[in-house]
Structure 1
């Protein structure tokens, strides 16, 4: 079984409209939400063995903040150029390159691609939007990431900062 955590970057700062989108940092709320969501994954017993992130500043920073909570070495985060503002199909290209030694993987990326890909993964749930710092988790019945697309998938959970955990 392989577990995939799709995580959208935390809330970014729009104070400088002239700033290049790629370079936008997190805002105060984003810096608070990222460790909170990492803690929620810890409570679920879900810590990724591999983190792959878009290289955009807001996404990279979200991954680093969450990695710190998980005691995952930030220098081990893989930056994947293709994940910056990608289409849903790009996620599959990235996933098929993952080493099969990893059972649980987190991919940090952007909308609209991350929402489109989450909806592609399962028929069990449809979402309108993965909000900032939202996490969409699925488990695939396979031992190889190369077979992830064809494998039967089970929806695990969808969580985000404004979602109350009961």
Structure 2
């Protein structure tokens, strides 16, 4: 069995003269990311590895989670920047099978589309720093596409 968490990056700023890739978190983002990570840890969520888009806002969100979970196993994967559902699938199928609980940090709209492709739950929109989790009936991440996926939870910072 595997567990997959999909995390949309925390709230970001929109400074002028900065590329989208380099946008930083804003004040709310810096508060929400550690708050959400602490909440997940309090409800006994386990994370073996953190896989993130290298964009500044996603990477910063990921680093907050890694700090709270006291686990610096962070992988930056270019394809997670504005990823399509197909790109999410490819990233997941290449995860190391020694990792049973993985958190992936990425961006909308792709992360919401991908989350919805895994469940019958209606995840209309993943707000910033929200987390969706699934239990995957597989021993290998290579089996992900055809494996049974059970929705575990959908948490939003404003609800915790």
| TM-score, scaled relative to structure 2 | 0.97
Q: Which runs of 5 or more residues in structure 2 are unaligned? A: none
CA-CA distance at 1:47 after TM superposition: 2.4
Q: Give secondary structure in 2 for the equivalent of 1:116.
A: helix
Tell me how many residue pairs correspond in the alignment. Answer: 160
Q: How does 1:1-166 map to 2 (within 5 A)?
A: 1-14=1-14, 16-73=15-72, 76-123=73-120, 125-164=121-160
Q: Give secondary structure in 2 for the equivalent of 1:108.
A: strand
Alpha-carbon distance in structure 1 between the residues aligned to 2:21 and 2:46: 27
Moved over 6 A (4+): none
Question: How much is the aligned-residue C-alpha RMSD, in angstroms?
Answer: 0.8
Q: Which runs of 5 or more residues in structure 1 are unaligned? A: none
Q: Give secondary structure in 1 for the equivalent of 2:157.
A: coil
| TM-score, scaled relative to structure 1 | 0.94
Alpha-carbon distance in structure 1 between the residues aligned to 2:147 and 2:84: 21
